[in-house]
Amino acid sequence: MAEFITTYGFLIVSMVFAAMLALSLYLPLMTGQLSLASPGFYALGGYIAAVMSTKVFPPTPQGEIFPLVYLLIEMLVAAVASALLAVLIGIPALRLRGIYLALATIAFVEVVRVLSLNLEITGKAIGIFGIPQPFLNKFEYMWIAAPMLILSTWFVYRLERSRVGRAFAALREDELAATAMGVNPTYNKVLSFTMGAVLAGVVGAVSAHFLNTWNARQGTFDAAILYLAFVIIGGSRTYLGPVLGGLLLTALPEVLRALAGVEFLPAFVAQFLVDGRLIIYGLLIALATIFFPQGLITPTMLKRLARRGT
Amino acid sequence: MQTILKIDRLTRAFGGLVAVDQVSFEVQEGEIFGLIGPNGAGKTTLFNLITGLTPPTSGKQFFLGEDLTAARPHIIATKGIARTFQNIRLFGNLSALENVMVAQHVHTRSGVLSGVLGTPTARREQQQSRDYAMELLRLVHLDDRAEAQARNFSYGDQRRLEIARALALRPKLLLLDEPGAGMNSNEKAGLSQFIRDIRAQFNLTVVLIEHHVPLVMGLCDRIAVLNFGQLIALGVPSAVQNDPAVVEAYLGE
Amino acid sequence: MQFTLFFQQLVNGLAIGSVYAIFALGYTLIFSILGIINFAHGAVFTLGAYFTYTLIGAKFGFNGLLAQSQLPFGLPFPLAVLGGAALAGLVGVIIERLAFRPLRARGADPLLTLVSSLGVAVALVNFIQYLVGAEAYSYPSSAFGGLPPSVNFGTPESPLIVRTVQIIIFVVSMLILVVLTYLINSTRTGKALRAVAEDATTSSLLGINTDRLIWITFFLSGFVGGIAGTLVGLSVTITGPYFGIAFGLKGLAVIVLGGLGSIPGAVLGGLVIGVAESLVPASAIGYKEAVAFAILFVILLVRPQGLLGRTLIQKV
């Protein structure tokens, strides 16, 4: 067990973060908006935590761990900052639809990235390193990551069944009909966009500690597309889809690497599983869209399972 | 009787095409008001103008004396104007029940937090909203399929579900865009009675677009006739029926 | 003095802008006919550069499956460029067959196609790395034949230096623009393409073979992308398997600025962004990379249909 944790602790926490980042993209999608802004807010949250823990809070004495309460304060600040920025950007940008909105949010992510490469406070190209550790090892981040994932998944699950969630779903289904039924499109879209931004920002704050260093490579366009892949492949019509997609796709390259260790595999196959695992990863993403166009989890599937359960 | 809707020289042009051209009329409270005219006469565009989905090029509209000309669609809905769509626009992936519950949005309060946490108030509101939606589904005989997805419904069921959804908004004015499309004459007779019933039960004023002339003549208190975007006749059915301009619009060429 | 400096920047801007333009043309061709963005285009661009490198008979580095190997022959550079482009076009066709057609046949959500093309891009980029490693490759300096590496159009005191590569890039991209415009406006296939772009269902009812036209489009897109890859490789070296990705992102800004689906728009957008970037003062050079995206953000808010795009009216 101890060996498993040293080997896979980092991976498991990364999977949990990925699941939440996928949820952060799923939230605006609940109102039908394809926003790829999450990495921008993730980067912002990370920088806030990195700056506060290295420059604002008193240095942690040698041999002691970073106080958890500081981490919680950072998460709170990251949440508030992300929310403010999201409202500021959301109100003008959410008039756009489909691919145009996606491109505008990509532009936002890139602008954040270039800013962080140039600003003194974000450490320019080098970034911020030596971010103090609130836990003894990487796996212990589960103390905070796991409750966050459970809470955010539960939140979205409950949201989908509430009045506001129904208004979101109506906007996603048919914006025009929804507005004719009294749903305020701007308000609800900005709301869902902001909730996604807050989640991404808070995950960024924890992630900065987890990765120990934070730089401009954390919030990139590639990451945005990867989160989108989590959502689409997991299933974009239920809260469980993005969670599962984030967990599975993050684990996949490592699973492929581990598969290479299986004994009876011919040497060249084993070698390819290690060296070519990202080739397989890419192909699997492409194949998944073809064979699971609704994603791995669909609302119908969940309903069927629920019926069998009762 | 009080004027519920007043349209004053309402005009909408799409490029060079004037879809609605200086149309003025008033609808009285409690009326069933018919809107007829050949295809492309601008009837649906007029509905889109009244509900704010299309902004007018010029002209004004008043609802219960309030100027709603520049109001956004969800505000207009909140004021008490509900509609159905000619080419049915249900929320296909939502259940029939959810479709109807969405339209109670403006009459319910609970926000993100109270909804997620399931506070007693939010739970009570959810229950009331669900009960009322079930009541409306019973009214259109869809209560036994409340949990089924709207897109799996037959055409006729979808039309009725759309009416239930519109009623859930608790409107004062209900706009029905071709409610009888695709029905046989038996069903259309039933529809007439249904529209009269809901008018009485919900204190509605109804404006409806319909092609089937006997249905309109039998059902409506007054009728407005549009042709090429212009209002060419307005009055009680018998007067409109014999209006030479109307006869020419329908039989002309 | 100041004036020649400005001109120097302008020339640099036009050169890089024309690369953006031909890169974006590959996106635009596919967008105009299918209404989707092919995220694998950056990988095809990269492949084009590597194909050309292979065809001139150059040797690979120390990593990857093909380490230290080379073709037993070497083509002259111009032929290798065309060969590399043709192979890139072929890869484009294969991508269409594997990642796009199965989804199109099912009438799938365009989002799925986006993710699927992304999957292909990840696979391709890593395939390149698997074969030839992550190191940078550059074409031999003999590629230009006897041409000098640069020409000074100014005076020795106030130089206006234009690299030969820049001239080649500019000329080739304008040539591609002219040829593409001719193909689309004046040939039978081009007219059919426009018909499909207008309305795919009706066109197929009229007897136009949509599938054939779509693979032709992917071939053209890959071909043009392959040439662009080689030209950029010539200008700045092939920096590794991820070489095309940065352009992929900027290419998006270019096509939105020009107007999605508009060929002259892609070229204009490319030149505008290239010149705008080159005019960033040296003191703020770090922000150069943000110029394209700032322009993208503003244009989306002010004029989402782009400079030369058409307005779309939403039907109620």
Q: Which domains does chain A have, with CATH numbers?
A: 2-309 (1.10.3470)
> Does any CB of chain B come closer than 8 Å to the CB of residue C312?
no
Task: Find the closest chain A residue to B169 by CA distance.
Answer: A181
Tell if the CB–CB gap between B90 and A183 is shorter than 8 Å: no
Taking CA atoms, what residue in B is nearest to C314?
B54
The burial of B200, by beta-carbon neighbours within 10 Å (0-12 exposed, 13-18 middle, 19 or more buried), is given as: exposed
CB distance A107–C120 less than 8 Å? no
Average pLDDT score, chain A: 91
Distance from CA of C309 to the nearest CA of B (A): 18
* Mean pLDDT on A94-113: 87
pLDDT at A294 over 90: no
Cβ contacts (< 8 Å) between A170 and chain B: which residues? 91, 94, 102
Q: Is some CB atom of chain A closer than 8 A to the CB atom of B91?
A: yes
CB contact under 8 A, B82 and A181: yes
Query: B239 CA to chain A: closest CA distance, Å?
Result: 34
Of the partner residues A34, A221, A283, the one whose CB lies closest to the CB of residue C111? A34
Q: Answer for the pair C29, C217: CB distance below 8 angstroms, yes or no.
A: yes
Closest CA to B233 of B221, B249, B217, B218: B249
The per-residue pLDDT for B251 is 64
Which of A163, A191, A199 to substitute to test the interface with B, most B CBs within 10 Å? Answer: A163
Closest Cα of chain C to B144: distance in Å?
Answer: 31
Question: Given CB atoms, is A275 within the 8 Å cutoff of chain B?
Answer: no
d(C-alpha C173, C-alpha C165), whole Å = 12
Measured between beta carbons, the chain C residues lying within 8 angstroms of A106 are 249, 252, 293, 296
In this prediction, residue C99 carries a pLDDT of: 87
What is the CATH classification number for the domain harbouring B222?
Answer: 3.40.50.300
Interacting residues of C308 by C-beta distance below 8 A, sequence separation 6+: C258, C259, C262, C264, C265, C268
The reply to whether residue C110 touches residue A176, judged by beta carbons under 8 angstroms, is no
* Smallest CA–CA distance from C304 into chain A, residue: A100
Give residue B211's pLDDT. 82
Collapsed DSSP state (helix, strand, coil) of residue B171: coil
What CA–CA distance (Å, rounded) separates A293 from A300?
14
ipTM above 0.90, yes or no: yes
B53–C313 CB contact, under 8 Å: no
Q: Residue B212 domain-assigned? A: yes
Q: What is the distance in angstroms between the Cα of B250 and the nearest Cα belonging to chain A?
A: 32
Is position B142 within any domain?
Answer: no
> Chain A: residue nearest C259 by CA?
A100
In this structure, what token pair is assigned to residue C300?
């989306």
Distances (CA, A) of C84 to A226, C217, C246: 30, 17, 21
d(CA B46, CA A205): 52
Number of domains within chain B: 1
Chain A: closest CA distance from residue B249 (Å): 32
CA dist A244 and A228 (Å) reads 13
Q: How far is C160 from chain A (nearest CA, A)?
A: 30
**Distance in Å, alpha carbon of B202 to nearest chain A alpha carbon:** 17
For range A36-51, the mean pLDDT:
96
Looking at residue C68, its pLDDT comes to 83
Interface test with B, best of C109, C312, C316 (most B CBs within 10 A): C316
Tell whether A176 is within 8 A of chain B (Cβ). Answer: yes
| CB contact B51 to A (< 8 Å) | yes
pLDDT tens column, A159-207: 999 999 999 999 999 999 999 999 999 999 999 999 999 999 999 999 9
In a domain, B20, yes or no: yes
Which residue positions in chain C have pLDDT lower than 70?
1-2, 310-316
Instruction: List pLDDT tens digits, range A61-93.
Output: 887 889 999 999 999 999 999 999 999 999 888
Predicted confidence at residue C313, as pLDDT, reads 42
Backbone angles phi, psi at B182, to 5 degrees: 80, 5
Residue B91 to residues A175, A301, B95, C292, Cα–Cα distance (Å): 9, 19, 8, 38
The token pair at A197 is 């931004």
Give the minimum alpha-carbon distance from C238 to chain A in angstroms, rounded to a whole number: 20
8 Å CB contact of C316 and B14: no
Chunked mean pLDDT (size 10), chain B, 253 residues: 92 90 95 91 94 94 94 95 95 96 93 92 95 97 95 93 96 95 85 94 95 86 93 92 83 57
In angstroms, the separation between the Cα of residue B174 and the nearest Cα of chain A is 12
pLDDT at A87: 96
pLDDT, residue C315, reads: 40
| Helix, coil or strand: residue B61 | strand
Domain annotation covers residue B7 = yes
Q: In chain A, which residues have their Cβ closer than 8 Å to the Cβ of C125? A: 282
C151-160 burial, b at 16+ Cβ within 10 Å, e below that, comes to: eeeeeeeeeb
What range does the domain containing B190 cover? 3-80+171-251
d(CA A181, CA B90): 11
Facing residue for C106 by CB, picked from A124, A281, A293: A293
pLDDT at C263: 83
User: Quick check: A167 and B110 CB within 8 A?
Assistant: no
B121 is a domain residue: no
| Contact (CB<8Å) A107/C296 | yes
Name all chains with 3 or more CB-CB pairs below 8 Å to chain C: A, B
Q: How far apart are CA C24 and CA C13, in angstroms?
A: 16
The structure tokens listed for C64 are: 């990857």
Instruction: Give the C-alpha separation, A165 to A167, whole Å.
Output: 5
Q: Suggest the residue from B88, B91, B109 to mutate for an interface test with chain A (most A CBs closer than 10 A).
A: B91
- Please report whether residue B232 resides in a domain: yes
Contact A104 C296 (CB under 8 A): yes
Our CA angle for B75, B80, B85, nearest 5°, is 85
Look up residue A211 and give its amino acid. Answer: L
In a domain, B235, yes or no: yes
Min Cα distance B208 → chain C (Å) is 18
pLDDT of residue A243: 97
Q: How far apart are CA A138 and CA B236, in angstroms?
A: 80
Instruction: Establish, for the pair of chains A and C, how many residue pairs have beta carbons separated by less than 8 Å.
Output: 133
Q: Which residues of A touch C110 (CB under 8 A)?
A: 99
Residues in chain A closer than 8 A to C112 (CB atoms): 232, 289, 293
Q: B122 to chain A: which residues are within 8 Å by CB? A: 162-163
- B32: enclosing H helix or E strand: strand B32-36
Q: Is residue B109 part of a domain?
A: no
C-contacting residues in A 154-213 (Cβ below 8 Å): 176
pTM over 0.80: yes
Answer yes or no: do A182 and B103 touch at CB < 8 A: yes
Q: How far is CA A44 from CA A75, A92, B70, in A?
A: 11, 20, 39
Contact A159/B112, CB-based, under 8 Å?
yes
Q: d(Cα C248, Cα C243) in Å, to the nearest integer?
A: 10
A106 touches chain C (CB under 8 A): yes
Residue A171 at interface with chain B, using a CB cutoff of 8 Å:
no
Taking CB atoms and an 8 Å limit, are C316 and B54 in contact across chains?
Answer: yes
CA B115 to chain centre: 30
